[in-house]
Amino acid sequence: MKSIILGLLLASAAFTFAQEKTIYDFEVETIDGEMVSLSEYKGMKIMIVNTASKCGFTKQYEQLQELYEKYGKDNFVVLGFPSNDFMRQEPGSDEQIAAFCKKNYGVTFPMMSKISVKNDEMDPLYKYLTTEALNGKMDSKVKWNFQKYLIGTEGKLEEVYYSQTVPTDKVIIDWIEKK
């Protein structure tokens, strides 16, 4: 009986911890090598996207930039996280990725340093995003490049959209515009 009670208490504590942890608890490295706390985006809606320069979905950079230009002044931000996890479609260095994004898509939204979004090397931020016990919302798996994680103004995961859902899809626009 004591072990059951102890188990329930531990499960309750873990659930409480997941409810208290937010995206603001993470620090990430920008593509320029600077460390930034995601708490800088407190009160904003955040779209976190794992990106790649040599992918069939790479043209989504254009729509991500379009969203950032249209809504960026209205407490919304896109954060790009380059990843080479899927068929080595992001082989470049941070400098090469930054130059590619600027030259080909005019990217001005914040881009972060290249990370891993799956397997044993998964970045702690993505471990949080993909694990219900940590994010308090849902388990998910990063299936491919340009998967979108939508974070609400309280710093909590609200929704996940896979690569096939373009950044300017109505469901995403509605989410951004919803007060």
Tokens of 128: 């949080």
Task: Round to whole Å and give the CA distance between 155 and 21.
Answer: 9
Pairing assessment for the beta strands 157-161 and 45-51 based on DSSP bridges = unpaired
Looking up tokens 């993909």, which residue turns up? 130
Buried b (16+ CB within 10 A) or exposed e, 131-163: beebbbbeebebebbbbbbbbbeebbbbbbbeb
Tell me how many degrees the CA angle 38-39-42 measures, rounded to the nearest 5: 115
CA-based R_g, the chain, Å: 17
Give yes or no: 101 in active site. Answer: no
Contact (CB, 8 A) for 145 and 55: yes
Active-site annotation holder among 18, 36, 44, 55: 55
What phi and psi values does residue 69 have, to the nearest 5 degrees?
-65, -40
Enzyme catalytic residues: 55
